[in-house]
Amino acid sequence: MRISLSMLFGVVMAAGLCAPTAALAEGDAAKGAKVFKKCVACHVVDEAKNKVGPHLVDIIDRPVASIEGYKYSKGMASYAEETPTWTLEALEAYLRAPRKVVKGTKMAFAGLKKDADVANVIAYMKDPASAE
């Protein structure tokens, strides 16, 4: 069987699309706790208490815009219709560029640029106690 260059390119591209992104790799929760200090003015991850932003307890696999008593922006409510759950992939994209992912979000934070920071913050949010 002969493989054409275009077939080979397609296989390579498909493999790349299936590969996990950096943030989906295992992060370091202790390092994530340090990066999360950028977030503590508005969020908590270890108790169900809203601040300027909603709490982030059990954020992974939680429905988007679902914390009772928190007033979400129209942009976040619309995003919840398109993306109903905070999957790892959705969370990674949002942490990288909140205002690009959710048009009209109240979140003023520009996002995390380093792959390691995203992976570490996600590891911390998964299990804040493991950072101690």
Q: What is the pLDDT of residue 129?
A: 94
Residue 46 CB burial class (10 angstroms; 0-12, 13-18, ≥19):
middle
Contacts of 100 (CB under 8 A, 6+ apart): 111
Each residue of 34-82: pLDDT tens digit?
A: 999 999 999 999 999 999 999 999 999 999 999 999 999 999 999 999 9
Alpha-carbon span 16 to 13, nearest angstrom? 5
User: 3-class SS at 2?
Assistant: coil
13, part of any domain: no
58, part of any domain: yes
6, part of any domain: no
56, part of any domain: yes
14, part of any domain: no
CATH number at residue 81: 1.10.760.10
pLDDT at 16 over 70: no
Domain count, the chain: 1
12, part of any domain: no
Q: pTM, whole model, 2 decimals?
A: 0.80
Residues forming beta bridges with residue 63, ordered by sequence position = 85
More confident residue, 105 or 2: 105
Domain containing 77: what range? 22-131
Yes or no: say if 59 and 47 are a contact pair by the CB < 8 Å rule: no
Each residue of 107-123: pLDDT tens digit?
A: 999 999 999 999 999 99
Alpha-carbon span 15 to 55, nearest angstrom? 36
